[in-house]
Amino acid sequence: MKPKPAARIYRGTPRNLARLARLLREGELVAVPTETVYGLAADAFNARACRRIFAAKHRPANDPLIVHIGSRRDLALVAEPNAAALLLAEKFWPGPLTLVLAKKASVPAVVSAGRPSVAVRMPAHPLFRRLLRLAGRPLAAPSANPFGYVSPTTAEHVRRGLGHEIGSILDGGPSRIGLESTIVDIRNPDRPRLLRPGAVTRLQLERALKVPVGRPPGRAAPQGVAQLAPGLLARHYSPRTPVILHPRISERAATQGAATEAWLFLARPKNLRGRNAFWLDRRGDIRGAARRLFAILRRIDEMGFKKINVELARGGGLAEAVNDRLRRAARPAPAGRVRFARGCRS
């Protein structure tokens, strides 16, 4: 069988954006940059196009897609907004916040995994927003990577993962945030629930809504059941190399550890150098750590180590989102308990 041609990476010129918008209207897939991670977009009203997303990613049909809109007024095209949702949209959109609401009949069942709800957000990346305006319709877009693998934060990550499954990638530079959006279930405005932590924190949501926001589910969503939103499965964002979590990593432990294991610190260690020593941010800044997390996990995964020892982030807010991704990355396939170092609690 003749191999599929490799995807083409497009710069964000007016001509290229017009071409990609036309492809989307025709039912094609286009990988797009967002401020969170790169997404794989299709016309959200075209069920056949959306099914192609699942095929390209090898994504199970029970894991729904996020619908991206170009303006707040477009929310009513795909969902039934309430006052609390409109308040959050006013405060946090465009930005890394996804709202789960009752869906309109215009949204195909394949987008929502057959559920009567839909996950919606308005992205902040300027190129993606221009593409949305040119396409003239909402776009469904999960992360642009093979299902379950580490999310992409550059166009090159997309090309290496899906380069022979899709034809077009819009290059918008490295993702500014580097973690997927916060997801909040706001169908009942009196009892909002945080489903997936992200750059918009639970505290920010509570201050905006002036009501408590439920914490993320303590137990991962069962395999095979239609999910309320993406990112809720026990294992996700996972490199091929096994990940071991630690509350802290000492330089001594890394020095004495096996050379076949990688050691990933939150901040740059003062006295440790070597092929197997890595860090997320030079000073341990959580925003820098989040932005680089997936890129560094991908880099380590390609270096042939037997294990990746990772130091958990400290504190709440964005650190909660970083640790959520790490805990899911550390889950063994297909199911089981998270691998923690001794003394580290889940």
Q: What percent of the chain has pLDDT over 70?
A: 94
Which residue type sits at 183? I
pLDDT digits (tens, 9 = 90+) for 297-322: 999 999 999 999 999 999 989 999 99
For the cut 50, the answer to whether the pLDDT of residue 209 exceeds it is yes
Instruction: Say which DSSP state 162 is in.
Output: H
Residues 167 and 268 in one domain: no
pLDDT digits (tens, 9 = 90+) for 47-92: 999 999 999 999 999 999 999 999 999 999 999 999 999 999 999 9
Decide if 340 is inside a domain.
no
pLDDT of residue 233: 87
Residues 251 and 147 in one domain: no
pLDDT of residue 242: 96
d(CA 196, CA 325): 10
pLDDT of residue 220: 66
Say whether 202 sits in a helix, a strand or coil: helix
Residues 188 and 43 in one domain: yes
Q: Average pLDDT, stretch 118-132?
A: 98
Length of the chain: 346
For the cut 50, the answer to whether the pLDDT of residue 39 exceeds it is yes
Instruction: Say which DSSP state 74 is in.
Output: G
Residues 31 and 176 in one domain: yes
pLDDT band at 345; cut points 50, 70, 90: very low
Domains held by the chain: number: 2
CATH number at residue 113: 3.90.870.10
Decide if 181 is inside a domain.
yes
Its sign, for the CA torsion 266, 268, 270, 272, is positive
Q: Average pLDDT, stretch 29-36?
A: 98
Decide if 107 is inside a domain.
yes
**Residue ranges of E strands in 197-322:** 243-246, 261-267, 277-281, 307-311
Decide if 1 is inside a domain.
no
Residues 30 and 172 in one domain: yes
User: Who's near 315: CB < 8 A, 6+ residues apart?
Assistant: 286
Residues 35 and 183 in one domain: yes
Residues 205 and 270 in one domain: no
pLDDT digits (tens, 9 = 90+) for 213-233: 998 887 766 667 899 999 998
Q: Which residue has the higher pLDDT, 37 or 259?
A: 37
For the cut 60, the answer to whether the pLDDT of residue 250 exceeds it is yes
Task: Identify any residues that bridge with 100 across adjacent strands, giving them in sequence order.
Answer: 119, 185
Decide if 52 is inside a domain.
yes
Its sign, for the CA torsion 188, 192, 195, 196, is positive
Domain extent at residue 302: 243-329
pLDDT of residue 2: 62
pLDDT band at 340; cut points 50, 70, 90: very low
> What single string gives the DSSP state of each residue in 298-345?
HHHHTTT-SEEEEEPP-SSTHHHHHHHHHHHHTSPSSS----B-TT--
Decide if 238 is inside a domain.
no
User: Who's near 90: CB < 8 A, 6+ residues apart?
Assistant: 72
Residues 107 and 158 in one domain: yes
Decide if 180 is inside a domain.
yes
d(CA 345, CA 269): 23
For the cut 80, the answer to whether the pLDDT of residue 344 exceeds it is no
The count of C-alpha atoms lying within 13 angstroms of the C-alpha of 176, restricted to the half-sphere facing its C-beta, is 11
Decide if 128 is inside a domain.
yes
What rounded mean pLDDT belongs to the chain? Answer: 93
Residues 249 and 175 in one domain: no
d(CA 21, CA 31): 12
| Cα angle value 169/173/174 (rounded, 5°) | 110
Asked if omega into 60 is within 30° of 0 (cis), the reply is no
pLDDT of residue 225: 84
